[in-house]
Structure 1
Amino acid sequence: MISSSVRSSLQVRPCTAADAVAATQLLFAAGPELFTYTFASSAEKTLEILTKAFAKPDHAFSYSHAQVAEVEGEVVGLLVSYSGALKTEAENRVHQVMPGIVPVWKVPGMLLNLTDLNRVKQPVPVQDYYVLCVAVKPELQGQGIGTCLLSQAETMAALEGCGAVALDLTLNNQQALRFCQGLGYRVVQSSTTPRFERQTGAGGLQRLVKPLVV
């Protein structure tokens, strides 16, 4: 339930490139271990890469696939999501965006980490819908904004004819796990590698799924 303090001014709208700075702060906060590992960079440099890339259209963590929640005109929440049928295409487009954003000398380290991350990640069935990120500013968590954003994802999934919504959480993110389980999501698989555990400290990834009632 959305709290009365935010209900009157809460608005969820499609994200634009102009939201990149505010949105990527939320995106990074949702999985700092994953993003620093993916880009083989410090937190500061990773956020810089994310911000530049987010403003480019149509790839896996682009504004094109995002919704933002605003309270009194301020971006306070973020949802990035797409169908399983679109996921592979969106991820492949990341490779088209990175040249010119990521220094060439970073590429070998990124490829090594991405190869390992691909061993940890689970495929998403094309008939399902995937939530890459749902995030809310810490000071406004617990007031129903995250619930509203996930509900938005489920509505979009249903409109696209998807049978379930899937998302991934790191094993150490118990707060997010409790939140998602409270909304009907259930853990269906967990995976990790020794390198992933050692480099991220996140333990591994767990896939949560919520079937949609037609």
Structure 2
Amino acid sequence: MSPDSGEVILLEKTLPMKAIDFRSATASDAKMAGQILFESFPRKASFLIGLGNEDRARKILSDIFPLPGHRLSYEFARIAMIEGRTVGLVIAFPGKMLNKLNRHLVKRILKYYSFRGKLAFFLRVWPLVFLKESARDEFFLSSLAVRNKHRGQEVGEALLTHVETRAAKAGFSKIALVVDIDDQDAKEIYDQNGYGVKTMNLESNARVPYLGPGYQRRVKEISL
């Protein structure tokens, strides 16, 4: 069964025998998706996208989700649901698309700012330009987000399984992702599911209070 046509995964721990269904995201999911995405990386979204303003970051995430051609677009998102309720989402795509999608994301965000805001945005984003997230032959997991009230219910593991199925069907043998060094919950899930650390990038001391200490690039090899 195609992941886009209603793949079902059973959760066997905190939510015994409850099925999680997946569907392709649509532009109409924008408000909900923007909120879930913000919950998944509030520190980074506020500092980089909102330039220190949480409400502005939420608005931008919701506004750009229905727009095509960037890494946070509905085009690459799948919505996870339990008994008809949205519990999370995942955004993933071939790594060879990443640079183009990043450029388009920057263009979308810049439209919200005056010249001074654009300059501030570039200064905050520039150090991340040199962060390698994915190789061209890898399937890239850009965002994995679980609603706050559904965390600890095996939803994250189900989202990973879903992405791995999509990647294998698309002919990829490796999946890459980037995780914050201080995100212990996410790192534990990735450790348990075979995502090994390949490289680490550290933030400068001046940026640590806003973005944390840095990032791990992780990769998992999957069977086709």
Retained in 2: the 8 A contact 1:11–1:71? Answer: yes
Question: What TM-score do you get using the length of structure 1 for normalisation?
Answer: 0.90
Cα-Cα RMSD: 2.0
Retained in 1: the 8 A contact 2:11–2:19? Answer: no
Question: Residue in 2 aligned with 1:51?
Answer: 62
Q: How does 1:174-193 map to 2 (within 5 A)?
A: 174-193=184-203
Question: What TM-score do you get using the length of structure 2 for normalisation?
Answer: 0.86
Relative contact order higher in (CA < 8 Å, ≥ 6 apart):
1
Aligned residue pairs, count: 213
From 131, 139, 150, the counterpart of 1:129: 139
- For 2:206 and 2:172, how far apart are their aligned partners in 1? 31
From 17, 20, 34, the counterpart of 2:27: 17
Quote how far apart the aligned CAs of 1:72 are.
Answer: 2.8
Q: Identity of counterpart residues, as a percentage?
A: 24
Instruction: State the SS of the aligned residue for 2:11.
Output: coil
Quote how far apart the aligned CAs of 1:104 are.
Answer: 4.2
Question: Residue in 2 aligned with 1:166?
Answer: 176
Retained in 1: the 8 A contact 2:203–2:212? Answer: no
Q: Return the letter of the residue paired with 1:73.
A: G
Alpha-carbon displacement from aligned partner over 1:107-136 (angstroms, at most 9, x marks no partner) = 1110011111223x2141110011111111
Alpha-carbon displacement from aligned partner over 1:48-98 (angstroms, at most 9, x marks no partner) = 111111121121111111001112322210101111111112112223423
Question: Residue in 2 aligned with 1:93?
Answer: 104
Instruction: State the SS of the aligned residue for 1:34.
Output: helix
Q: 1:103 to 1:69 in 2, by over 3 A?
A: farther
- For 2:145 and 2:36, how far apart are their aligned partners in 1? 6
Deviates most, 91-100 or 110-119: 91-100
- For 2:111 and 2:64, how far apart are their aligned partners in 1? 10
Q: Does 2:85 align with 1:83?
A: no
- For 1:57 and 1:201, how far apart are their aligned partners in 2? 27
Quote how far apart the aligned CAs of 1:197 are.
Answer: 3.6
Retained in 2: the 8 A contact 1:79–1:133? Answer: yes
Retained in 1: the 8 A contact 2:21–2:80? Answer: yes
Question: Residue in 1 aligned with 2:76?
Answer: 65
Q: Return the letter of the residue paired with 2:195.
A: Y
Instruction: State the SS of the aligned residue for 1:46.
Output: helix
Question: Residue in 2 aligned with 1:149?
Answer: 159
- For 1:9 and 1:21, how far apart are their aligned partners in 2? 24
Retained in 2: the 8 A contact 1:26–1:136? Answer: yes
| Unpaired stretches in structure 1, ≥5 consecutive residues | none
Q: 1:118 to 1:99 in 2, by over 3 A?
A: closer
Q: Return the letter of the residue paired with 1:91.
A: N
Question: Residue in 1 aligned with 2:219?
Answer: 209
Q: Return the letter of the residue paired with 2:135.
A: P
- For 1:22 and 1:196, how far apart are their aligned partners in 2? 33
- For 1:196 and 1:73, how far apart are their aligned partners in 2? 44
Instruction: State the SS of the aligned residue for 2:69.
Output: coil
Quote how far apart the aligned CAs of 1:201 are.
Answer: 4.4
- For 1:61 and 1:178, how far apart are their aligned partners in 2? 24
